[in-house]
Amino acid sequence: MCGRYTLYHDEEDLTSLFELDAFPLVRRYNVAPTQVAPVVHAVGGTRERIDARWGLLPHWVKDPGTFKTLLFNARAETAAEKPSFRDAMKRSRCAVPASGFYEWAKRDGSKQPHHIVRRDGAPMILAGLYSLHREAGPTFTILTTSPNARVSELHDRMPVILPPEDLARWLDPEITDPTTLEELLRPVASDVIDVYPVGKAVGNARVDGPELVEPLR
């Protein structure tokens, strides 16, 4: 599961990683479902940054007001088969830029949030799917997979974190057979990430500031 994430890297880091001309950004420390955040997709041979609402609305939904399911995550193992995601797996894959993500672990009867980041300090590339709905506009979801050994101490799912060398393949609109991408949807190795506890204020989606990612003393 991935229900909160961060995006606070410098614009230059994101511009370079995603090979874009620019990456305008407002730093975020508590991105939550239903909020709008940037994603990157490919149109023809060109990558594009767009703002989208987190919570995929399938393009075939006639009345967005009647679709009550908040699809902020999709299981990577079954997304190609599910009606809500299978079209996007074929034709509308995207990358979700992130600096890290949060997971909560049960500790002594309460839930302790943790921030998970790349050990090398680089931004994360989360595998996502997007939909362009004629009324609601762009929306997206984050693909999840089984956890690596480190994240399994906190939760039974984690987002798919793509290495930079696999980004072009994931975004390639010419690839329409999801089975050829299955090897990309595995959990990242435990030694790629760092995990540390943070304060519980992150549980409130209205709170957003750099203090949320400070390690808990």
This prediction has a pTM of 0.96
Separation between Cα atoms, residue 111 and residue 64, nearest integer Å: 33
Give me the sign of the Cα torsion angle 139, 30, 80, 75.
Answer: negative
Q: Does 90 or 109 have the greater pLDDT score?
A: 90
Q: What is the pLDDT of residue 2?
A: 83
Q: Look over the chain and give the mean of its residue pLDDT values, rounded to a whole number.
A: 95
Express as a percent the part of the chain with pLDDT over 90: 88
Residues whose CB falls within 8 Å of the CB of residue 211, separated by 6 or more in sequence, listed in order:
29, 199, 201
Query: Looking at domain 5-213, does it have CATH number 3.50.50.60?
Result: no
Express as a percent the part of the chain with pLDDT over 70: 100
pLDDT at 1 over 80: no
Cα-flanking dihedrals φ and ψ of residue 4, to 5°?
-150, 145
Cα 23-71-64 angle, rounded to 5 deg: 95
Q: What is the pLDDT of residue 106?
A: 85
Which residues on adjacent β-strands are paired with residue 144? 75, 159
Asked if 94 is an active-site residue, the reply is no
Separation between Cα atoms, residue 37 and residue 20, nearest integer Å: 17
Catalytic residue among 103, 135, 165, 183: 103
pLDDT for 6-59, tens place per residue?
999 999 999 999 999 999 999 999 999 999 999 999 988 899 999 999 999 999
Asked if 11 is an active-site residue, the reply is no
pLDDT for 121-159, tens place per residue?
999 999 999 999 988 899 999 999 999 999 999 999 999
Structure tokens of 73? 């995550």
Q: Sketch the domain layout of the chain as residue ranges.
A: 5-213
pLDDT at 114 over 80: yes
